[in-house]
């Protein structure tokens, strides 16, 4: 039990010290508004981004998380990054859509189950209900 406590403390200290915690906290500053989508013919939940999130749009950011590979959907330079470890699904345990982002990398990034730091240009998705609300373009793994 003591070993588990030390591991958890170490994880949270390193996570906080890395500064990445603040990026996900900022990205969590959203509210949701339901709107009728004429193309899909039903109500869709659209994100309303805070000013803090809007300021990140188009800027280079670094964010830490875990890979959810989806290469069969878009190729080897695409995956979803989750702020939480991937178990069965990234929304398990009450996590919301603000805890994941689509990542398009410059080069192929091999899948890993380890936590990674990715740097790229953030795009906030304000109107496409078929995409995640955050998209990181030209991404690279930060060493």
CA-based end-to-end distance of the chain: 32
* Segments forming the whole domain that contains residue 114: 19-141
pLDDT at 143 over 90: no
Beta strand pairing status for 60-69 and 78-82?
A: antiparallel
Dump pLDDT digits (tens) for 15-73. Answer: 444 445 589 999 999 999 998 988 889 898 889 999 999 999 999 999 999 998 775 65
Quick check: is 97 in a domain? yes
**Helix or strand (DSSP H, E) at 14:** helix 2-17
Could you tell me what percentage of the chain is helix, strand and coil, using 3-state DSSP and rounding each to the nearest 5?
30, 40, 35
Burial of 112 (0-12, 13-18, 19+ CB in 10 A): exposed
pTM of the model: 0.77
Give the contacts of 82 (CB within 8 A, at least 6 positions apart): 65, 66, 67, 68, 90, 95, 99, 100
Q: What is the CATH number of the domain that holds 118?
A: 2.40.50.140
Q: Looking at the domain assignment, is residue 56 inside a domain?
A: yes
Report the distance separating Cα 37 and Cα 122, nearest Å.
Answer: 25
Cα 50 to chain center, whole Å?
Answer: 16
Asked, for residue 31, whether it belongs to a domain, the answer is yes
- 3 belongs to a structural domain: no
Give a yes or no: residue 5 inside a domain: no
Decide which of 9 and 24 is more confident.
24
pLDDT at 1: 39
Q: Report if residue 114 sits inside a domain.
A: yes
Residue 76 lies in a domain: yes
Q: What is the pLDDT of residue 37?
A: 84
User: Tens digit of pLDDT for each residue in 96-131?
Assistant: 889 999 999 988 888 888 999 999 999 999 888 889
CA-nearest of 63, 65, 67, 60 to 109 is: 67
In this structure, is residue 106 part of a structural domain? yes
Query: How many separate domains does the chain show?
Result: 1
Task: Say whether pLDDT at 139 is over 70.
Answer: yes
């Amino acid at each position: 039990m003591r070993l588990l406590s030390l591991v958890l403390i170490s994880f949270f200290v390193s996570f906080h010290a890395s500064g990445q915690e603040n990026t996900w906290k900022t990205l969590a500053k959203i509210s949701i508004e339901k709107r009728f989508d004429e193309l899909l013919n039903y109500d869709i939940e659209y994100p309303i981004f805070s000013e803090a999130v809007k300021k990140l749009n188009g800027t280079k950011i670094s964010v830490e998380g875990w890979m959810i590979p989806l290469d069969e959907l878009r190729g080897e330079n695409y995956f979803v990054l989750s702020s939480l470890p991937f178990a069965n699904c990234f929304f398990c345990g009450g996590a919301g859509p603000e805890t994941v982002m689509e990542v398009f990398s410059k080069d192929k990034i091999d899948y890993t189950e380890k936590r990674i730091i990715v740097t790229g240009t953030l795009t906030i998705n304000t109107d496409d209900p078929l995409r995640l609300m955050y998209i990181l373009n030209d991404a690279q793994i930060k060493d």
